Amino acid sequence: MEAATADTKIAPTRAPRKRRTAEEDERRLARFMISPSLILIAIVAAYPIGYAVWLSFHEYSVRVPGLSRGAGFRNYTNALNDSAFQSAILNTFIFTAASVFFELILGVAMALIMHNATRGKGVLRTIVLVPWAILTVVTAITWQTIFEPQLGFVNTALRGLGLPGGNIVWLGDKPYAMIVLVIADVWKTAPFMALLVLAGMQVIPNDVYDAAKVDGANAWQRFTKITLPLLKPAILVALIFRTLDALRIFDLPFVLTKGTNGTNTLSFEAYQQLRENRLIGLGSAMSILTFLIVMIVSFAYIRFVGGNIRGLADEGGR
Residue type, 94: I
Burial class (CB in 10 A: 0-12, 13-18, 19+), 298: middle
- In this prediction the pTM is 0.79
Nearest alpha carbon to residue 137 among 248, 254, 275, 242: 254
Kindly calculate the radius of gyration of the chain based on its CA atoms and give it in whole angstroms.
Answer: 28
pLDDT for the residue numbered 64: 57
Residue 1: band (very low, low, confident or very high) from pLDDT cuts 50, 70, 90:
very low
DSSP E strands in 117-268: the ranges are none
Based on the structure, what is the number of domains in the chain? 1
Answer yes or no: is pLDDT of 20 > 80. Answer: no
Mean pLDDT for the chain overall:
82
DSSP E strands in the chain: the ranges are 58-60, 68-70
pLDDT for the residue numbered 101: 93
Q: Is there a domain that residue 138 lies in?
A: yes
List the domain range (segments joined by +) for residue 185: 51-317
Q: Is there a domain that residue 17 lies in?
A: no
Answer yes or no: is pLDDT of 313 > 60. Answer: no
Answer yes or no: is pLDDT of 317 > 50. Answer: no
Q: Is there a domain that residue 93 lies in?
A: yes
CA–CA distance, 6 with 9 (Å, rounded to integer): 8
Give the three-class secondary structure for 59. Answer: strand
CA–CA distance, 131 with 117 (Å, rounded to integer): 20
pLDDT for the residue numbered 229: 85
How much is the average pLDDT of 44-55?
84
Q: Is there a domain that residue 27 lies in?
A: no
Q: Tell me the percentage of the chain whose pLDDT exceeds 90.
A: 18
How much is the average pLDDT of 226-250?
87
Q: Is there a domain that residue 62 lies in?
A: yes
Output the CA torsion sign for 296, 299, 301, 303. Answer: negative
User: Which residue has better confidence, 179 or 11?
Assistant: 179
Q: Is there a domain that residue 268 lies in?
A: yes
Q: Is there a domain that residue 199 lies in?
A: yes
Q: Is there a domain that residue 240 lies in?
A: yes
CA–CA distance, 289 with 270 (Å, rounded to integer): 9
Answer yes or no: is pLDDT of 90 > 90. Answer: yes
Cβ–Cβ under 8 Å, residues 170 and 156: no
Residue 73: band (very low, low, confident or very high) from pLDDT cuts 50, 70, 90:
confident
How much is the average pLDDT of 294-302?
84
Answer yes or no: is pLDDT of 2 > 60. Answer: no
How much is the average pLDDT of 187-216?
86
Rama region for 16: left / alpha / beta (φ>0; ψ in -120 to 50; rest): beta
Answer yes or no: is pLDDT of 230 > 50. Answer: yes
The CATH number given to whatever domain includes residue 133 is 1.10.3720.10
